[in-house]
Structure 1
């Protein structure tokens, strides 16, 4: 486990320690002086989770990480009597993986006590987790260097995974956060496997076991990397293991990744209802619901005490006022920063609505859950902050939804109309860019088994605030300056009509696209050529071959005509 370890006992804890740590006085009579290191700044918290805390400690001549596994409950303490502690198990697996030739960390010490177990590992200098590098460091580089690093990293990752699987190492929690990256000379990538408690060791993996492990990693990359980079990675993996893997096999890997992601997303969709470190439940004498953890209770208390008070404020900006809902905007502290927020009240329009909420989510709750669900799936929508309902006799009545406002955003048809102030050549270039982006975005919506039955132009906003898919889903970058930016971003709003599907039919997809077309019909904003461009961009993500656009064109036209007839019967305008 540790080269020539020394056994020690300190303050009720037993330790296996590398002699180097004893020589440097890292362990005192009470174990590591963690409180002292934190007070002097020699230690900082890297990760805080219910099951463990990770610190980085930098002492003169020694840099290491200390992981403290917390004893969760009496049951986990009882289990520790029958098997090795988590720290000891991780140290043994780390040592074994290193012996098999997989680059990983160097264990320095293991401690076990009634207060949990401890693992000390030497820090890999100048290394970041692959997640941190891809999300924070890589975007800062110039375009040419960024492309070079991406390509070399894809190849290095493929070879690293091949080396890992040839060594019989399977990591059941394989994601970029459990890989360290250090850039060497000429931006060559060096990778290290970490957090090896979830590792299993055995003989070299056959293709089926390898594929299942690759799917776990690919769940992260399929939303955040180009297909060319993933193909480069799989090609390097195949060549390093001397496997015969066809392109059809790689397509099957991508398909299995999508299926795995669909299961993962469904399992996480209701996490936003509270009871974890990201979300919590909120309640008052008049309302109850859920809120994001960074919403201060003191800021939410007035809204929970009287949910209708903001609608009575003098001069409040009213965005919509209809029998079914009222929408306003105002300023509210969010995470310690004052932001513009949207506040929507869902009215009870029929006496059956409270009873129906017993069997299906109410509109406010559905919008809140699907807002977080869409962001989890890498689809851009303003972040839902909180939701609550007035309760009477245990039934949900009026619902209230609080979301961040998309900054400097305009509705999609208005944005397209605003392009007329550009020269013809610039307008065409900007419109084509927007059409391609919209087609790919709606294809991603449908690929991830979501539909939006009210996908009208007013429910798609355009601004210049860039976003990216972080480890927790779609996240906004800093705000951009102009709504006519050459890089427009499209956001979904008004998510009452969003639904999850196990199988999304072509008829449902055609209805969504026809609803969007209805927002542009008769306004002279787009041509038939623009419609064809949009359709080919939509089909380019793989729902059907690009040559099959005529079949889709006819299906959308039929869905649009059905929409026209339905609106005529109901006396509603088309828009």
Structure 2
């Protein structure tokens, strides 16, 4: 920050500001490339916007980004605005954001680090702080890193090269004393050469490499089922890219320069970078990244396994803090959630929910339960659950509507002073989606209000788990040991991942688990968690005692199922313990779960409730 204050009175980068041009009530500072392109007249920004040649790419209260076709190719114009007192005060004591980004990009390129080619930066021709403009040249054919890994499948050798190159790039940044304060993959561009077909070379038997997802949930989760580094054989494959990927930085206005980063500084930067990859990349590829990073850190020669484990733990802790903050956003409106209201009905809905269907739903929600084509799944004193068709522009879509009844005046008072059951299900449904845990995405949540302020009957609309069968029914009908074992191992990894990410289900019984696609492909069916009323999330991993109770509740669901043997239960436990860091020995867990199961059975026997 102090360096930014100094830069307001003189550039720290020799020749960064270049010639100065005054035109159309603006002051432009040109780079040599910008001077050759724009000349003495300066950029014609107003003309570009007026004739439509400047296309809006991003827009917000603090900035607008345009794409414009220049004589030398495609360029980008970033229009930075002051959108509050804090931003105004910041502009008083430091240089305009456009100037910071212009100079930082120039300095990065001088280090040989990829960054956008700066052409010009400008401000309004006034002494007072105001809007600023940055013009850069496109780095085509480089594309954003998330787009690169999401839009094209990577063969194993590409995945390996990408991990190594990314580790070397981050090491080069830190060795040069460069710290990007927001190093998420969206601020990275990647450029890679053309494909060169090569024949596949089979591996010798037994030499394949087995990689597993650190997330522990395979490819089934509500946030999407992609991994940027899909696991597979390390055989080169067909079409492997033999050139080395080149990376460039975006959004560099806050980049810091100094001495090579210490381990504490490097760790803080790597934690923010690793948060995205910990959910999407395999442990093997993250290890490749780490080894490449260590090789490039000449000033930190002693990095090893201890630091790697520390980085993984701190990343998970950082993600848990991030998820708790993200989950609270679903209490109100933001770019994906909106408020809904119709008469006595008030609530929240996702913005992509069809408006016509939503109006019908809010006008008479109870009518949908008796509408032709609706299939009742559950009806009892406390709630009613139905499956119905929702019209969409792409055709009908099956959704689940749940109504939670108000049985007494006490329920009304509870809803008034604490979050209702549907509100908790809505909140933690989105919370589990943020954590990449498998659960149906909530679409809408609302209450019928009595007297204008008492939330009464609650309604929750969610996506339907496709081709799903309840875990209880599926296990009872299954006689194939291999399939049963596969389901148990997948569910164990889901539960362990959930606990490590700070989530306690608190009602983890078999009826609250669905097997997605079990109706059409039992072998590859994947578990999905439902009924999230009792879910709790925290900044810390779930403690041992709570984990044992939840495993015991799941274990108790199958005490009356003969073919779920002690061997299968032990396999489940060992699969649970195999994900993440080891916690105590399996015998300690076995004894704790057995004791908690016996306590649950005795409790249900005393109350006369059947184990479900």
Instruction: Place the TM-score, normalised by the shorter chain, in its bin.
Output: 0.7 to 0.9
Question: Is the CA contact (8 Å cut-off) linking 2:100 and 2:254 kept in structure 1?
Answer: no
> What residue ranges of structure 1 are gaps of 5+ in the alignment?
421-426, 466-481
2:440 matched residue in structure 1: 382
* Secondary structure of 1:407 counterpart: coil
How much has 1:60 moved relative to structure 2?
5.9
CA contact (8 A) 2:16 2:103 kept: no
Deviates further, 360-369 or 296-305: 296-305
TM-score, normalised on structure 2? Answer: 0.82
1:186 alignment counterpart: 242
**Distance (Å, rounded) in 1 between the aligned partners of 2:171 and 2:81:** 34
TM-score using structure 1 length: 0.87
1:95 to partner: Cα distance: 1.7
Please say if residues 319 and 329 of structure 1, whose CA atoms lie closer than 8 Å, have aligned partners that are also in contact.
yes
- Which string of whole-angstrom CA distances, capped at 9 and with x for unpartnered residues, describes residues 164-190 of structure 1? 111111111111111111123614221
1:246-284 deviation per Cα after TM superposition (whole angstroms, max 9, x unaligned):
312211111111111111111111212333211112222
2:459 corresponding residue in structure 1: 400
The answer for the alignment partner of 1:260 in structure 2 is 318
Is residue 21–residue 42 contact of structure 2 (8 Å, CA) maintained in 1?
Answer: no
For residues 355 and 578 of structure 2, the distance between their equivalents in structure 1, rounded to whole angstroms, comes to 46
Correspondence list, 1:67-466, <5 A: 67-73=78-84, 76-77=87-88, 79-113=90-124, 116-137=131-152, 140-141=153-154, 145=155, 147-184=156-193, 186-242=242-298, 243-333=301-391, 338-393=396-451, 394-420=453-479, 427-464=480-517
Does the aligned pair in 2 maintain the 1:94–1:196 contact within 8 Å? yes
Q: CA 1:387 to 1:335, structure 2 compared with 1: closer, same or farther past 3 Å?
A: farther
Aligned to 2:558: 520
2-side partners of 1:492 and 1:23: how far apart? Answer: 62
1:81 deviates by 5.0
Deviation for aligned residue 1:209? 0.7
Helix, strand or coil for the counterpart of 1:36? coil
- Equivalent-residue separation in structure 1 for 2:430 and 2:281 (angstroms): 22
Structure 2 residue aligned with 1:52: 63
Q: CA RMSD in A?
A: 2.7
* Structure 2 residue ranges without an equivalent (≥5): 1-12, 194-240
CA shift at 1:7, angstroms?
3.4
| Larger strand fraction of residues | 1
Deviation string 1:527-568 (CA, Å, 9 cap, x unpaired) is 2222111111100123535x8112211211222222212222
Q: What SS does the corresponding residue of 1:283 show, helix, strand or coil? A: strand
Distance 1:64 1:350 in 2: 64
For residues 198 and 331 of structure 1, do their structure 2 counterparts lie closer, same or farther at Cα, with a shift above 3 Å needed? farther
Q: Give the distance between the partners of 1:530 and 1:25, measured in 2 at CA.
A: 77
Cα displacement string for residues 151-173 of structure 1 (whole angstroms, at most 9, x for unaligned residues): 21111111111111111111111
Q: 2:535 aligns with which of 498, 505, 530?
A: 498
The 1-side partners of 2:138 and 2:362 are apart by: 47
Q: Does 1:66 align with 2:77?
A: yes
Contact 1:127 1:180 in 2 (8 A): yes
The structural deviation recorded for 1:379 is 0.5
Partner of 2:10: none
Q: CA 1:53 to 1:333, structure 2 compared with 1: closer, same or farther past 3 Å?
A: farther
Structure 1, residues 423-449: CA drift from partner, whole Å, max 9, x if none?
Answer: xxxx34433332221111111000011
Distance in 2 (CA, whole Å) between partners of 1:77 and 1:336 is 46
Residue 8 of structure 2 is matched in structure 1 by none
Deviations 1:329-350 (A, max 9, x none): 2122468664211111111233
The Cα of 1:355 is off from its aligned counterpart by: 2.2
Change (3 A) 1:99 1:34: farther
SS of corresponding position for 2:312: helix
- Deviation of 1:53 (Å): 3.2
Distance in 2 of aligned mates of 1:251 and 1:34: 55
Deviations 1:479-517 (A, max 9, x none): xxx631543222111111211134522221112112222
Q: 1:231 to 1:435 in 2, by over 3 A?
A: same
1:16 aligned partner: 29
Number of residue-to-residue matches in the alignment: 541
Of residues 560, 564, 567, the one that matches 1:529 is: 567
